Amino acid sequence: MPTYEYECLENGHRFEEFQSITADPITTCPECGGPVRRLIGSGAGIIFKGSGFYETDYRSESYRKAEKAERNSASKSTSTGKKSSTKTAAPAGAGSSTGTGTRSAD
């Protein structure tokens, strides 16, 4: 539930009220009984605390372990000169994907 701020139109008294969104606005000042208006507030401020706020900061422990293992295996394979993926050669006579290959007449 939000906190709304009100100001008395007669004596300038300002006060806050913790109300439901669907509740009717307060119309009278609790000090003098005069009319009040609801002020437009800036809302609640967001406070960021901690080392960082990235989506990876809140990953599960099992995800972080798997990611660490993957990094370690990738760094070992690159340090020993092995490639982590293998490429296959195109079959003989296969046309080029750039459009420079020959085309047979029908």
Q: Is residue 102 in some structural domain?
A: no
Q: Is residue 90 in some structural domain?
A: no
Q: Both tokens of residue 23?
A: 């509740």
Q: Is residue 57 in some structural domain?
A: no
Per the structure, how many domains does the chain have?
A: 1
- Torsion angle (degrees, nearest 10) of CA 6, 21, 44, 54: -170
pLDDT digits (tens, 9 = 90+) for 61-73: 888 888 889 989 8
Higher pLDDT, 61 or 86: 61
Q: Is residue 24 in some structural domain?
A: yes
Q: Is residue 95 in some structural domain?
A: no
Q: Is residue 80 in some structural domain?
A: no
Q: Is residue 7 in some structural domain?
A: yes
8 A C-beta contact, residue 32 and residue 13: yes
Q: Is residue 61 in some structural domain?
A: no
Q: Is the pLDDT of residue 39 over 80?
A: yes
Structure letter (DSSP) for residue 6: E
Q: Tell whether pTM > 0.85.
A: no
Q: What domain range is 24 assigned to?
A: 3-39
| 3-state helix, strand and coil shares in percent for the chain, rounded to the nearest 5 | 20, 15, 60
Strand ranges in 9-70 using DSSP code E only, listed in sequence order:
14-18, 36-39
Q: Is the pLDDT of residue 43 over 90?
A: no
